[in-house]
Amino acid sequence: MNLVIGLIIGIGGGLGAVAFRWLIGYFDFFFFDWLGDILAFMGDKHVIILPAIGGIIVGSLIQWGAREAKGHGVPQVLEAVAVHGGHIRARVAVVKSFASAICLGSGGSAGREGPIVQIGSTLGSIAGQLGKFSLPQRRCFVACGAAAGIAATFNAPLAGVLFAHEIILGDLAITSLAPIVVAAVTSAAIGYSAFGNVPAFQIPDYALGHVTELPWFIVVGAIAALAGVAFIRLLYGLEFWIDRIRMPIWGTAALGGLAVGCIGYFFPAIFGLGYDAMGQVLSGITPVTVVLLALGILKIVATSATLGSGGSGGIMAPSLFIGVMLGTAFGNLLAPLSATTPPAYGLVGMAALFAATGHAPLTSVLTVFEMTRDYQMILPLMLACGVSTVMARLLFPFSIYNFRLMQHHIHYSLGRDTRLLDTVTVEQGMTTDIITLPPDAPLSEAARLFEDTKHHGFPVADADGTLHGIICLGDLRDAIAAGRQDTTVRDASSHDVIVAFPDETLNDALRKLGLRDIGRLPVVERQDHTRLIGLITRKNIIAAYNRALLKLHTHLEETVKPEHIE
């Protein structure tokens, strides 16, 4: 059955990748050709405002459609796998498709693989939710979708399989390998039929000049590690700063787009995916070293401005772009000393940079190999990717994918032992410090409480703890929209409440939260379902899981101390 589901996800992922690439082309024509003709009176300066216009549209889509579509997408997939049982809302695929296509088509600096991964993973999540599948199966199906996305967008089925295991699942499980392989192969076959069985970059055959030049590629790995860490810090630093600004997403995304437009006016290569510029450099058409360095550095800035301000797109393509430019620049400097041509250093640099940002050396090596089909550089590729990954981890312990989760207190890098969710009870994770609303309170009191606390829902209960329902921000908005501002909290609240019991596990609570895509559960006594004793939210579950995970790892560290070894 898993193989059949993998096949279906592969078909959906492949067709989704084809449709998404078509959407990007359509919006590229819309912005740079159709809208460009309308703005022709501005001369070539019209390119400055195109990403800003795209940012307004993208930000609006995300703000009112699905906030999970913001950014590069993979962290949201990881969070779904880690703590939400593989549950991703169906609307995410639609919003992500259009938001990312508009962002890239209007010149936003990002990649297409992150959106395709999120789109494919959403299809996998939907497949897992439709049947009575176990938690490991649902996570496997999400990984199938990710593999299908990578396989189709890069014509790289092997890279898709490794991406799903190395980044999404975090390990190579035999039980999940077969369906993921089926999904990747199926998706790649659809990609081949649509785009041709050709590598993403058609470049000359490069080879290592001499084995004694291998140490130079250690330097390439070190450069990639420094640039990769700088990329991660700038992207999330800018995102953190912008999140502090009280401005709608469409406003911040417009500002980010304007910054990208200003950079792109002087360096058009940083617009969009950057594949044409990468292809030219890798094929031997190399600008002077200072231009290569400028392109590499400005791509970091432009991508951070695009995604950090609220845009939508991937980070793999920008990572490859940065690596190509910085690697080739280093090759130019070495030209008098090295028999290896500068673009070969760029080829290695693109893999090393992605390895540094994603902490995924195997995926990086295979992705670049399948994109170029150049096996002769495999030794420098492996060496540089290994060095860049190790050095990047030493400089900054989080990858560009899991750093966002750490900011949300999800210790994804410590382990993925989700069986811990079955060992911790709701009573251990719930909070008893509950803010409630009396059922007879006026709706204006609820509105003030929502505004003061920024919470999204409150139990409706009497002073003695008798539960009458729950009122969410959506209930309040619906009542106001219907002109019922003078009603009571009891009349506006939901009475068909899903509750949790203190002796249930965190896994039980997560399943209930996912059942209706809600964020909190009142905890009631099992003997009396109206007696409110606590509240458990997704944040409470994550915190309890992390405490159990840290306790487990502390225990493991204690058991391997020298005094415990006979």
CA quadruple 151, 323, 297, 316: dihedral, nearest 10: 10
pLDDT class of 200 with cuts at 50, 70, 90:
confident
- Dig out the tokens for 363 from the structure: 């995926």
Give the 3-state secondary structure percentages of the chain, helix then strand then coil, rounded to 5. Answer: 70, 5, 25
CA distance 299 to 280: 16
- Dig out the tokens for 40 from the structure: 């022709």
CA quadruple 360, 104, 192, 90: dihedral, nearest 10: 80
Rounded to the nearest 5°, which phi and psi values hold at 213?
A: -90, -5
Helix (H, G, I), strand (E, B) or coil at 484: coil
Task: Give the DSSP H/E element, type plus range, for residue 460.
Answer: strand 457-461
Q: Which residue has the higher pLDDT, 162 or 565?
A: 162
9 touches 120 (CB < 8 A): yes
Tell whether the model's pLDDT for residue 343 goes beyond 50: yes
- Dig out the tokens for 324 from the structure: 């190509």
Residue 192 gets which letter from DSSP? H
Tell whether the model's pLDDT for residue 518 goes beyond 80: no
How many residues does the structure list for the chain?
566
Per-residue model confidence (pLDDT) at position 415: 42
Tell whether the model's pLDDT for residue 377 goes beyond 80: yes
CA distance 77 to 87: 9
CA distance 19 to 12: 10
CA distance 487 to 441: 9
10 touches 101 (CB < 8 A): no
How many other C-beta atoms are found inside a 10 Å radius of the C-beta of residue 235? 26
CA distance 65 to 80: 18
Rounded to the nearest 5°, which phi and psi values hold at 337?
A: -105, -15
Helix (H, G, I), strand (E, B) or coil at 202: coil
| Residues 528-548 as b or e (16 or more Cβ within 10 Å = b) | eeeebbbbbbbebbbebbbeb
Question: Lowest-confidence range among 22-26, 31-35, 193-197, 524-528?
Answer: 193-197
Helix (H, G, I), strand (E, B) or coil at 299: helix
CA distance 274 to 278: 6
CA distance 320 to 348: 10
Burial grade of 245 (CB within 10 A; 0-12, 13-18, 19 or more):
exposed
Q: Which domains does the chain have, with CATH numbers?
A: 2-195 (1.10.3080.10), 211-413 (1.10.3080.10), 419-546 (3.10.580.10)
- Dig out the tokens for 428 from the structure: 């251990």
pTM exceeds 0.85, yes or no: no
Question: Lowest-confidence range among 3-17, 110-124, 248-262, 289-303?
Answer: 110-124
The alpha carbon dihedral of 215, 219, 225, 231 has a sign of negative
What is the CA 542 to chain-centroid distance, rounded?
A: 18
- Dig out the tokens for 104 from the structure: 């890239």
Task: Give the DSSP H/E element, type plus range, for residue 457.
Answer: strand 457-461
CA distance 168 to 139: 9
CA distance 97 to 324: 27
Per-residue model confidence (pLDDT) at position 563: 37
- Segment 253-274 shows an average pLDDT of 94
Per-residue model confidence (pLDDT) at position 222: 97
Question: Between the ranges 59-73, 193-207, 375-389, where is the mean pLDDT highest?
Answer: 375-389
**Three-class SS of 316-334:** HHHHHHHHHHHHHHHHHHH
Question: Lowest-confidence range among 13-17, 21-25, 446-450, 481-485?
Answer: 481-485
500 touches 508 (CB < 8 A): yes
- Segment 389-415 shows an average pLDDT of 73
pLDDT tens per residue across span 177-188: 889 999 999 998
CA distance 388 to 217: 10
